[in-house]
Structure 1
Amino acid sequence: MNGLPEQVLITEVLLRDGLQIEPVIVPTQDKLRLAYGFLEAGLTSLEIGSFVHPGKVPQMADTDRLAAELRAGETASLHSLVFNERGAHRALAAGARNVRLTVSASDGHSRANAGVPTEQALERLRVAAEPLTAANVQLEATIATAFLCPFDGETSPRRVVETAHQLAGLGISVLHLADTIGAASPWHIRRTVRAVQAELTDLPLGLHLHNTYGMASANVWEALHLGIRRFDAALGGVGGCPFAPGAAGNIATDDLVNVCHHAGIATGIDVRRLVELRDEVHALLGRKLPSALAAVPGAPAPLRVTAAPD
């Protein structure tokens, strides 16, 4: 198919975004078992947690331990989220080599998520980036509510571009745009991605999509044609933001892989192992998972198509 890539990079975010809103706190050993399972399945990029106050997000209280234990046999990019200087120093103490700085494009979500408006949150990230850069930590960034905000409504592309410029000044290597509440349409994706691409021509972009209104796969399809090659996803479609009322889970890794493989786009992921891991997540959480494939009784692993149809 014209305009589609040969391969994409999928970052599995189950261990962070997938679990941060779950009422069940998954034990560290189970998280480690899932992490090693993801590596066995061929994933080369994992988001393992966030360095936030454990009182606010208790599900992430063991991120330090996860980072320290997984780095010993590190064969993939292990990402963790940082919002401020304290989080940066915790990341360094845990030996983190890949950090995502996170800020909301909208003031309303920034106040709910970080306690301050966007500009002040960006200043915190400037301070946080200094020790990370000095330690040669690889920096990426995510702009939350890049398309719509549960408090402020639609986010203007200009606002996203301005935020992106400030993050680019911190030395990031990749910028991810997040549909935090899962309400964006392909039109929103096209409008904002093109605006950022037009002004930050050398900065690789990725998408972090939620699926509240069932549009995530359509948004992926639009993004692929816009040159996006990096996507976050959570196995089984679990996840959500504690500070984004009404947001559903992430686009499901199994559904995303299915879309890509049917179009002949390689992911490097063993889909049968992925489905086995999805069953483990189902058992750990004790509830139905929202991915489309998980809802099909007796469904096999997603089909692998080796060539795109004419």
Structure 2
Amino acid sequence: MNEMPEQVLITEVLLRDGLQVEPVIVSTKDKLRLAYGLLEAGLTSLEIGSFVHPEKVPQMADTDRLAAELCAGESASLHTLVFNERGARRAIDAGARHVRLIVSASNGHSQANAGVPTQQALERLRPAAELLARAEVQLEATIATAFVCPFDGETSPGRVVETAHRLTEFGIHTLHLGDTIGAASPWHIRRTVTAVQAELYDLPLGLHLHNTYGMASANAWEALHLGVRRFDAALGGVGGCPFAPGAAGNIATDDLVNLCHHAGVATGIDVDRLVAVREELHALLGRKLDSSLAAVPSAPAPLRPSGVRG
């Protein structure tokens, strides 16, 4: 068992994964207000959109404008998702400096999400990665369905490791493992994370967790004990994948911050400001949010135990 980290980096994915399945189309102006609120709350890493065809994911149609507005002179890491060379060109034109490539470990989800099996999706990403590298864009990658696939069932750790090795050829500096449909358990997390750590021990590793079966916090706890220091989360627990049947929202940023602070793990996040942004989000979406803290009437901000800053 690895040592519990003293601090973690939380990437707020509200503006991309959080909003992409919402029936309400949030305006660019409102997205910018949410983004600036999150930055003021101390988040230093945001996922702001994806360069996909607007007919497939209408909520992401303004990613170019968001990137052009937010990436100009901003010191935070502002990530966009890219699936192919065309998306890479759009990202560069919009001034994106941090890009995540995404590929599914399972063929079934890759076919639904990218229209081709995993190996072909990887080959499609290669020219995109080369283009982004020439533009000196920082590259990360996410392996979707790294634990369980809605079409193919459980994903073997060996398949995840193989996909990870292929992605390292593209020059990525961080790898994220995605529990795309929120069906993983702490056992899945330990089995696959330790397999990847054993093979790619120099590559920083993060997790992208969903909470379909209420296991996201338990999975984050397991990952913390494995030394994982990077997590994606969405404020209020919103989100899901339009190409993964049954997928529920992400692990909630407010719940994850609460978990980390109780464990003495710093996040750098101002919890009072985070809750204020959550209230703005609630008003924008006009529905009940999915985080545990948001569900408690008059819930206080996530607790900050003695000795933990942020």
Asked if 1 retains the 8 angstrom alpha-carbon contact of 2:104 and 2:143, the reply is yes
Rounded to whole Å, the distance in 1 between the matches of 2:73 and 2:240 is 29
Amino acid paired to 1:207: L
How do 1:1-310 and structure 2 match up within 5 A?
A: 3-307=3-307
Rounded to whole Å, the distance in 2 between the matches of 1:126 and 1:272 is 42
**After TM superposition, which residue ranges in structure 1, 4 or more long, deviate above 6 angstroms?**
none
Rounded to whole Å, the distance in 1 between the matches of 2:109 and 2:211 is 18
Rounded to whole Å, the distance in 2 between the matches of 1:71 and 1:290 is 29
1:64-106 CA-to-partner distances (Å, cap 9, x unmatched) read 0000001123120000000000000000000100000000000
Q: Secondary structure of 1:101's partner?
A: strand
Amino acid paired to 1:141: A
Runs of 5+ unmatched residues, structure 2: none
Deviation at 1:127, TM superposition (A): 1.2
Asked if 1 retains the 8 angstrom alpha-carbon contact of 2:86 and 2:128, the reply is yes
Q: Secondary structure of 1:24's partner?
A: coil
Rounded to whole Å, the distance in 1 between the matches of 2:213 and 2:270 is 28
Deviation at 1:259, TM superposition (A): 0.1
Rounded to whole Å, the distance in 2 between the matches of 1:59 and 1:108 is 24
Rounded to whole Å, the distance in 1 between the matches of 2:264 and 2:171 is 34
Rounded to whole Å, the distance in 1 between the matches of 2:307 and 2:186 is 25
Deviation at 1:264, TM superposition (A): 1.0
1:216-249 CA-to-partner distances (Å, cap 9, x unmatched) read 0000110011110000000000000000011100
Rounded to whole Å, the distance in 2 between the matches of 1:130 and 1:73 is 24
Deviation at 1:306, TM superposition (A): 2.9
Asked if 1 retains the 8 angstrom alpha-carbon contact of 2:41 and 2:273, the reply is yes
Rounded to whole Å, the distance in 2 between the matches of 1:131 and 1:152 is 32
Rounded to whole Å, the distance in 2 between the matches of 1:83 and 1:72 is 23
Report the TM-score, using the length of structure 1 for normalisation.
Answer: 0.98
Rounded to whole Å, the distance in 1 between the matches of 2:268 and 2:93 is 32
Rounded to whole Å, the distance in 1 between the matches of 2:223 and 2:306 is 21
1:124-148 CA-to-partner distances (Å, cap 9, x unmatched) read 1111101100011000000000000
Asked if 1 retains the 8 angstrom alpha-carbon contact of 2:72 and 2:95, the reply is no
Asked if 1 retains the 8 angstrom alpha-carbon contact of 2:45 and 2:76, the reply is yes
Asked if 1 retains the 8 angstrom alpha-carbon contact of 2:239 and 2:250, the reply is yes
Rounded to whole Å, the distance in 2 between the matches of 1:260 and 1:227 is 13
Asked if 2 retains the 8 angstrom alpha-carbon contact of 1:182 and 1:209, the reply is yes
Rounded to whole Å, the distance in 2 between the matches of 1:46 and 1:257 is 15
Q: Secondary structure of 1:232's partner?
A: strand
Amino acid paired to 2:272: R
Q: Secondary structure of 2:11's partner?
A: strand
Asked if 2 retains the 8 angstrom alpha-carbon contact of 1:261 and 1:306, the reply is no
Deviation at 1:256, TM superposition (A): 0.1
RMSD of Structure 2 on Structure 1 (CA): 0.9
Deviation at 1:201, TM superposition (A): 1.3
Rounded to whole Å, the distance in 2 between the matches of 1:87 and 1:306 is 45
Asked if 2 retains the 8 angstrom alpha-carbon contact of 1:263 and 1:307, the reply is no
Asked if 2 retains the 8 angstrom alpha-carbon contact of 1:180 and 1:247, the reply is yes
Runs of 5+ unmatched residues, structure 1: none
Aligned length, in residue pairs: 307
